[in-house]
Chains A and B, each alone.
Chain A
Amino acid sequence: MARSELAQTQVPIRPPEAEGQVQARSQRHLIWVRLRRDKAALAGGVILVVIVLLAIFAPLLSKLTGHGPNQLFQSMLTSSLGLPKGPNSHFWFGVDQVGRDVFVRVAYGARTSLMIAIVGTFFASIVGIILGVIAGFYGGRVDSVLARLIDIFLSLPLIVFAIGIASVCSATATGCFWGILRPGISLVVGIIALFTWAYLARIVRGQVLSLRRQEFCSASVAIGAGDFRIMFGELLPNLVAPILVFSTLTIPSNILFAADLSFLGLGVPQSTPDWGRMLADATSGGMFTYAWWMMLFPGVFIVLTTLAFNLLGDGLADAMDSRENA
């Protein structure tokens, strides 16, 4: 759902002439000033920095605690029923059903989530930007074909397709699409890239359609600039704001999407620590009704991460939107 609403978000492009007004401060500086005043966006930024640090230093945390992400600790399971034990001074977040350290796994899980969401969003954005710019710039028949393609991809049921592809491609180690999509993180990244580019493409196309008629574009044509130069040298810089805002706001959707897939048991493989997968473990057999820590910690980190991206994205949208001060 999130994505389709996002595709409706409109970030106005600043007309180039507005930049020539009497002010010493650059556009970028103004945005930064506005963003700094936004406490919610700042909080989002701070949380993100912490989570990124957690992801980067996951191996260090693993070394400090002496617990590997997939290491089993029999001593942390009760001797009678084999139930996991809760948080203590050595295992801050307790252990899971087979005796793995939840804290270390949460730290490694940050890597998986951020990696999937950021890399997936990156590739989807590249495809979306290129196709959107081409459709908007050339117009005519090129545009009608691309616009129709965008429409088709927008009406694909993302989760149903993802479930199907994930299961088909995970059936064997060789994967599918002639081996491009192999089971694991790259499969989830591939699904995101393959099926979510259309949202950004639609936004970029719309913006380029209106920008193309502006004078600076005709001027570039007049001085003999090539199509490529106009598209990516002249038009694209004007689209940085909407692209940045949209991408920041799609990353959390993709984190949730990857978590959904893991929860269904179709995302990353068992051995990769992943928040969605950890929550699925907590659910199986109603484990969490006893071992609440298995549910609480991965859940809190997913919510914190998506919330942080959303706060930052909202703040960016406001800071780049001139109407906000009207």
Chain B
Amino acid sequence: MGRYLIRRILQMIVVLLVISLITYAIFFLMSPIDPAVLFAGKVPQPQVVAAIRKEFGLNKPIYMQYLLFVKHIFLGDQWGWPGLGFSFQYRSSIRTLLSQKLWISTQLAVGAAILWLSLGIPVGIVSAIRRRTLIDRTSMGLALFFVSVPEFWLGLMFLWIFWYKLGIASGTGYVPFTTSPVSWFNHMIMPWIVLALGYAAWYSRMTRAGLITTLHEDYIRTARAKGVSERKIIFKHALRSSLTPVVTMFGMDLGALIGGAVIVEVVFNLPGIGQWAVTSAYDADLPAILAITLVTTFAITIANLFVDIAYVYLDPRVRYA
């Protein structure tokens, strides 16, 4: 396990380096935007642009800039470790911005994840057991609907109904937990639900499909023949192996969401990573985009690593050397 972990972490670093290279190439090489000119303001003076180029190292050849960027990530820069540079849009160190925004996105993602797991998996189990009954058809019909609905449309409908018409939910924006726990919850509950519904739909479909397939397996028939109770068969024998793909998905989804649930954050005006990605894109804040991409990818790869480790406990057939 130890050697496996080291190998995986090394692999992860390589993946992140390749991705940073791709991102760098896209945003600094192919982009027609000159960050220095942009940073210099509405009427860029040549000497100001030159000074900015010098300060941010934009006058160096592109490969040197990249190497410097990588060096700063590993060794830190003047704003601390990991060195992610300076946001042209906010005129502040990206590291400081990142930790604030990451915290908001994490709250959103984790809350939604708890909701969708506790909704999607039970619905999937019931649907699989009561296959072709009214309850199965209704829940799978609803699942199909939530899979097909655009997230922003759902979010706007929720806002319109529960905030504008009924007035029972708070509107958009973010209130820190420490300011007011009640207000925090009121502002988070709708984003959580809207984000969770789509995922719950996918997870219920996956759980149902997985469980139906597993229930046809020979070892389940053996268990039944031995006289094991149906409850025990489903919860002890079948569920464990049919949930493996769900766990894989969960890792990737949660990782991606910690890097920003873009649409929900924009609709509900939560200043997390996703919303930051959009505003940085509007303002062509290249260092911020670069940092966001890297952090999101990092979250996904870390989540994948955790999933692979979780397999050892979930599936007795999996062993890592």
Contacts and interface: CB of A to CB of B under 8 A. Distances in A.
A and B part of one assembly = yes
Contacts of A155: 15, 19, 252, 255, 297, 300-301, 304
A62 interface: no
Interface of A: 1-2, 4-5, 8, 148, 151-152, 154-157, 159-161, 163-168, 171-172, 174, 176-178, 252, 256, 259-260, 263-266, 276, 279, 283, 288-289, 295, 299, 302-303, 306-307, 310-311, 314, 323, 326
A5 B249 contact: yes
Nearest to A280: B152
B30 A176 contact: yes
B153 A279 contact: yes
A8 B206 contact: yes
Nearest to B141: A40
B26 A323 contact: no
Contact of A1 (B198, B213, B245): B198
B19 A264 contact: no
Contact of A157 (B202, B206, B282, B296): B296
A314 B205 CA distance: 11
Interface in B104-149: 144-145, 147-149
Nearest to A167: B281
B277 A163 contact: yes
Given A8-B206, A8-B245, A279-B153, A161 B293 contact: yes
Contact of A306 (B31, B148, B300): B148
B30 A178 contact: yes
A209 to B, nearest CB: 18
Interface residues of B, number: 56
A176 B259 CA distance: 25
B167 interface: no
A21 B31 CA distance: 59
B265 to A, nearest CB: 11
B236 interface: no
Given A155-B301, A176-B30, A299 B148 contact: no
A1 B202 contact: yes
A163 B281 contact: yes
A157 to B, nearest CB: 4
Interface string B272-314: 0010011011101000010011001100110010000000000
Contacts of A5: 202, 205-206, 249
A176 B262 contact: no
Given A279-B152, A289-B160, 11 more contacts: A4-B256, A161-B23, A161-B26, A163-B277, A164-B27, A168-B30, A171-B31, A176-B31, A252-B147, A263-B150, A323-B216
Contact of A172 (B32, B213, B281): B32
Contacts, number: 154
A311 B141 CA distance: 10
B290 to A, nearest CB: 9
Contacts of A323: 213, 216
A302 B150 contact: yes
B32 A289 contact: no
Nearest to B261: A159
30 contacts: A1-B198, A1-B199, A4-B256, A5-B206, A8-B249, A155-B300, A157-B260, A157-B293, A159-B277, A160-B259, A164-B23, A164-B26, A168-B31, A168-B33, A168-B284, A171-B32, A178-B30, A256-B148, A260-B151, A260-B263, A263-B152, A264-B278, A276-B150, A279-B150, A279-B153, A295-B153, A295-B156, A302-B150, A303-B149, A310-B148
B250 to A, nearest CB: 10
Interface of chain A, main secondary structure = helix
Nearest to B216: A326
Nearest to B283: A167
A151 B262 CA distance: 22
A242 B300 CA distance: 26
B297 A157 contact: yes
B192 to A, nearest CB: 15
A156 B19 contact: yes
Interface string B46-88: 0000000000000000000000000000000000000000000
B223 interface: no
B30 A311 contact: no
B150 A256 contact: yes
Q: Which of B151, B249, B278 has the most A CB atoms < 10 Å from its CB?
A: B278
Contacts of B256: 1, 4, 157
B150 A157 contact: no
Contact of A164 (B202, B205, B259, B293): B293
Contacts of A310: 144, 147-148
A157 B249 contact: no
A72 B27 CA distance: 38
A164 B26 CA distance: 9
A107 to B, nearest CB: 19
Contacts of B213: 323
B266 interface: yes
Contacts of A165: 26
A303 B266 CA distance: 21
Contacts of A256: 148, 150-151
B145 A307 contact: yes
Nearest to A286: B164
Given A4-B249, A5-B202, A176-B32, A160 B160 contact: no
Nearest to A168: B31
